[in-house]
Structure 1
Amino acid sequence: MSRPAGREAYFDNAKFVIGCLVVIGHAFTWVDLGPWFTAFEAMGSSFRMPVFAFLVGYFSQGFLRSTGRARRLIAKIALAYLVFDLLYQILDAVLGLRPFEFSPLAPYTHLWFLTAMFLWRGSAPLWWQMRHPFPVAVFVSLVAGLSELGIFTKILSMLPFFVLGLMVKREHFDVLRRPAVRLAAVGILLVEFALIFLVLPEFMDGRDFFRALWNRSYEYAGWVAPVGTGLRFFAIFGTMVVGAAVLALIPTGAGLISRLGSRSLYMYVLHYAVIRIVLANGWFELVPGGALGAALTCVLCVALGVVLCSRPTQIVFKPILEPPTDWLFKRRPKRARPGVPAPSDGRSTPVPQATPVPQARIAQR
């Protein structure tokens, strides 16, 4: 199976790896992990969604040069969000997990990221025209934590990573491939794991820390405004370093992972349905506690990611996950080539031709 033309394997590899970490993180919520895998999950919580936001920003650069492509993609995101938000609410009601309550302004659990993509990409031209977009985005992120804004707290807190993705160039990724940088990346991730495993538990659960850091207001997390602002400020730049380390270790070659990664959106949107079904049937209780159960969960989540990123899954769910949107927009008339009259629909008023100026009169001027 060949990869879609024009795609680069490295970025598809990154999307598949980060997507699998998201699936693992959501499954770990219901599993007794033990201390080592608890630290591993907290570490994943620190960077996986910021890295996703960064990649969304990077790929949004192309939409700045194609208004038609941008509006159609944004419309697809909006339609897919509305459809799946409704379907997940129905699924939860059928499974008896919670009563049906459809509210488009309160996204279902993981679907907040579709809302974020819609808003981030819609605002991309504004950030592109600013003189200093990244400092402004950091300021917005810090201010967003001062009050509880619901889903917008999470969207605005990760705004700097999207804007950073808008600003980077392709050659910046080439730096990450250098052997010295990759060696340093291993050291950075080991240091972060050690800090989360040894130091962070003295203050609070690592997973709760990063969820509160990106998802909620400072007051909700129990931090006064100066402390919360300082923590988020340093977390933004620390996450940039950790995210770069993760991206430095992503394989660059084309293969099965890159083919699957080209359909990573299917994994992200659909995996939570499987988790809800497993939860409703009590199957998480069958997973043994500790490292063995956590490792088994990782393997099953990666296998689930492979299935959801497969071509058959795309064929089945493409009509609702990537719905056609041409019917929403007016067709733009094609520009006529020089010397070729534009096609007429029979209703346009002919434009009178300018009277040619005699050459003698031009000479007199």
Structure 2
Amino acid sequence: MSDVVATSATPILDVTEVSKSFPASKDPLGRVTARLQAVVEASLSIAPGETLGLVGESGSGKTTLGRLVMRLTDADAGRIVLDGVDITNARGPELRAARRKMQVVFQDPQSSLDPNWLVRDIIAEPLRAYGASRAERQSATERLLADVGLEAAHGARYASEFSGGQRQRVAIARSLALEPNLVVCDEPVSALDVSTQAQVLSLLESLRDRRDLAYLFIAHDLAVVHHISHRIAVMYLGRIVEVGPADEVYYRPRHPYTEALLSAMPNPNPADRRERILLSGEMPSPVEPPPGCRFQTRCIHAMDRCREIEPELVKYGDIEVACHLHESGPRLAGSSVVEVSRQQSGGVGYIPRRASD
């Protein structure tokens, strides 16, 4: 997505060095002996009307970070600020007020919608919970159904009577009932076929523009994330390793992990040859992450420094990247890592190219 959202003095969401771990094992006395590091010192911000895509492999911690933002899970450390208000430790009425401003669309609409409720009741439930009258709920439900491309008569049906795409439209309508400023979309199209994915993405874009919504869009597919996002954050083993404008991250990746994710994407154009970067082994265990850079066990550029010192997220213009290649070795200083790979392998370009490239 090439359109740029102007930076706001007050982001709708500002997350600073948030961490979360879970008990992984206990001794016979019930004492925790090991912890799984799901999110480690993650920082991100989202401006009003902006979509930030969060991408990474399964197990990278992106869904946990989304749950931390929504306060469905409490953070161990760090700070979460929503619309200028610190909600990190909010409880009771304070948290209830914050939740009017942020809602979520889950991955599987079949499991997130109550099969025993009519669609109109599912959509109206947030309004009922916040004290709206019956007339207000009915009017809002009809309006929300129309906003997501459904008819008022659909409200008298059960979710099981709809297709997967229609069910996800119901879930989106429910998420908008309280007119939030931020919507966390957790893999909202991964369970849908390609044509339905395109329709739902188009709907999300239209709603964002009409309602000035901000999205945290979580997915594993970089092509989908690039299509809908203004900026992209790449996550690996609990850490954010690259953040930048969508086109920059997609066409000129700065981190070797982003580069590898792009090389794994299917390419329908045989004329645009690309070299596949095969990552060795599986993602390391988040219970016992490797020393130094967490990606060094699978990185084709790994140096001695990478095995000893964990890189910090450093800002270069509009890009932030955590990789020693930008500080030592080739000293990329914020430039793309693609040329280094081409020089080392003698291969051809594999990064998707725009018509103007």
User: Normalization by structure 2: what TM-score?
Assistant: 0.24
Higher relative contact order (CA 8 A, sep 6+): 1
- Greater helix share, 1 or 2? 1
- Greater strand share, 1 or 2? 2
Structure label with greater radius of gyration: 1
User: Normalization by structure 1: what TM-score?
Assistant: 0.24
